[in-house]
Amino acid sequence: MKKLILSASVALLSLAAYSQTNWKVDPSHSKLGFSVTHMMVSDVEGKFKVYEGTVSSKTDIDFTDASINFSADAASINTDDEKRDGHLKSADFFDVEKYPKITFKSTSMKPNVKKGKTAYDLTGELTMHGVTKKVTLTAIGASKTVKDPYGNTKYGFRVNGEINRKDFGLNWNAALEAGGVAVSDEVKLNINIELNKAK
């Protein structure tokens, strides 16, 4: 009887693993972007150029409770200004020598029909500058999967949200003579992800 139960359990686990669809982020067709308000008057955009990620979903188009793992190299930050990028990599901000990786691991991905048929509330643990915080972002999926000329199945998401950099210990700022500060605490995330289905 124990052998029968064990065999059934193994079969169920194998079936569950088989039913999962695995995806990998295509970095050449994705963007891990963000923006902050500078001097209280304009937005400055940036991105991380080196990153990788995997997604495991129930089917090709059902990402309910998908498992998502993402990792970015903090030193790959790019705002199109070498001096500013050097400051962002320093101990004033990301301190990339001490904290080289930024990671995100999902804990839930729930449908949000109010925002669209393919919209989700993506919740997970974001680790940055040695601090881990729970964050919830909005993920809007494409209407369907497509195949490229090489037979690869592709899907995509636009992910948006806002975090407070001080929650992660990125506290540096400079006061302005006219009032206010040089850099906003709020960081807007603007992420475009293209996924390749594992063969």
pLDDT tens, position by position, 148-181:
998 999 999 999 999 999 999 999 876 654 555 6
H or E element, residue 2: helix 2-19
Q: Is residue 91 part of a domain?
A: yes
SS3 of residue 113 by DSSP: helix
The reported pLDDT for the residue numbered 11 is: 42
Beta bridge partners of 102: 72
Q: Would the pLDDT of 8 be above 50?
A: no
CATH at 104: 2.40.128.110
Q: Is residue 14 part of a domain?
A: no
Among 198, 74, 168, 156, CA closest to 186: 168
Beta bridge partners of 38: 42, 183
Q: Is residue 128 part of a domain?
A: yes
Question: What are the residues whose beta carbons fall under 8 Å from the beta carbon of 123, sequence distance 6 or more?
Answer: 106, 107, 108, 109, 110, 134, 135, 136, 137
H or E element, residue 3: helix 2-19
SS3 of residue 39 by DSSP: coil
The reported pLDDT for the residue numbered 38 is: 79
The reported pLDDT for the residue numbered 13 is: 46
Query: H helices within 20-113, ranges in order?
Result: 82-89
Q: Is residue 1 part of a domain?
A: no
Whole-model pTM? 0.86
Q: How far is CA 18 from CA 7, 13, 54, 63, 105, in A?
A: 16, 9, 16, 16, 22
Q: Is residue 68 part of a domain?
A: yes
Average pLDDT over residues 14-28: 76
Q: What is the DSSP string of 4-19?
A: HHHHHHHHHHHHHHHH
Q: Would the pLDDT of 9 be above 50?
A: no
Which tops the pLDDT comparison, 42 or 171? 171
The reported pLDDT for the residue numbered 178 is: 53
Q: Would the pLDDT of 7 be above 90?
A: no
Q: Pairing between strand 146-147 and 186-197?
A: unpaired
- 45-54, 55-64, 147-156, range with the lowest pLDDT: 55-64
Q: Is residue 13 part of a domain?
A: no
Return the amino acid letter for 2.
Answer: K
Q: Is residue 185 part of a domain?
A: yes
Return the amino acid letter for 38.
Answer: H
**141 vs 194: CA distance, rounded Å:** 10
- 15-24, 47-56, 94-103, range with the lowest pLDDT: 15-24
Q: Is residue 187 part of a domain?
A: yes
Looking at every residue in the chain, the average pLDDT score rounds to: 88
For residue 42, what pLDDT band results from cuts at 50, 70 and 90? confident
* Number of structural domains the chain divides into: 1
The reported pLDDT for the residue numbered 173 is: 76
The reported pLDDT for the residue numbered 17 is: 46
Q: Pairing between strand 77-78 and 131-141?
A: unpaired
What is the residue range of 149's domain?
Answer: 21-197
